[in-house]
Amino acid sequence: MMGDRFEISVVGNNPHWAEERIDDAIAEINRVEKLLSAFSDDSTINQVNRNAGIKPVKTTGEIFRLIDRSLQISELTHGSFDITYSTADKDSIDLNDTPIKIASKTAVSYKNVVLDANAQTVFLEEKGMRIGFGANSKGYAADRAKYILQMQGVSSGVINAGGDLLTWGTQPDDEPWTIATADPAQKALPFANVEISNMAIATSVNAGKYTAILNKKYLSTINPKMGFPVSGIKSVSIMSPGAELADAMATPVMSIGINAGLYLINQLNQMACIIIDDHDRIYTSKDISIPN
């Protein structure tokens, strides 16, 4: 679903009841996927994109609030997170012949999105401008699935959305949910267990792939605004109460660097992060203690 693998686990005494609840969650994830699709002719997102530079488009309250939250995250990260892109963006090709988007200097930004809360409309100011939710749709779908499960009486569970985790309640033995944190290059050797009950954790990994640009080889993480590669960070894990926010913040923190990323997270309530650099050194925000 949504281009990724979802695994849903619920705690209960009746397997048949649990399976029905999981089916409800899957239906909600499919609903969100259709809602945020930019390919269906009748989707709201497609209508917003088609009318870029032409006129505002009235949206549903759900989509309007999601766009509004996305713009707030863009403001918070100074544009490192941005749901906007331009059809004029250029492609680069990595060594596996995979296109990688690198924004042109004239690329649009979140500042070109105009919201009218009273009319509940969205207007993209520039022609050729588009919005997409690839960076936070998976987290939003997980949050919605959790909400549906809780409304159906599921008091404990875990949603694994392509490796990003969202938990609530406790394990069947009443112990908190935990995750073993590891260096991406040594996944079998976790260095710490972190409690994540009633939290979400999302990880962005610099996979070590390379991109061919101007006859040079670069790590595959690209600064979304400047177009040059980011070095120094191997992985970033973000913890927050909701999967949407954790999902949205992981890549921006990797993009802005260790010091700026830690400073940003330390200013925010109920958020924490673990950063591993390319020398396997571990950095944590102020609310996390990693044992030696």
Alpha-helical segments (H) within the chain: 15-35, 44-50, 61-76, 137-151, 243-256, 258-266
User: Would the pTM of this model clear 0.85, i.e. be above it?
Assistant: no
Q: Are 86 and 128 in contact (CB under 8 A)?
A: yes
- 128-157 pLDDT per residue, tens: 999 999 889 999 999 999 999 999 999 999
- Please give the structure tokens belonging to residue 110: 């979140």
Each domain of the chain, given as residue ranges in start order, spans: 44-131
Q: Are 201 and 165 in contact (CB under 8 A)?
A: yes
- 13-66 pLDDT per residue, tens: 999 999 999 999 999 999 999 999 887 778 899 999 999 999 999 999 999 999
Q: Residue 255 has what pLDDT?
A: 87
Architecture in CATH for domain 44-131: Orthogonal Bundle (1.10)
Query: What span, in angstroms and rounded, lies between the C-alpha atoms of 227 and 104?
Result: 8
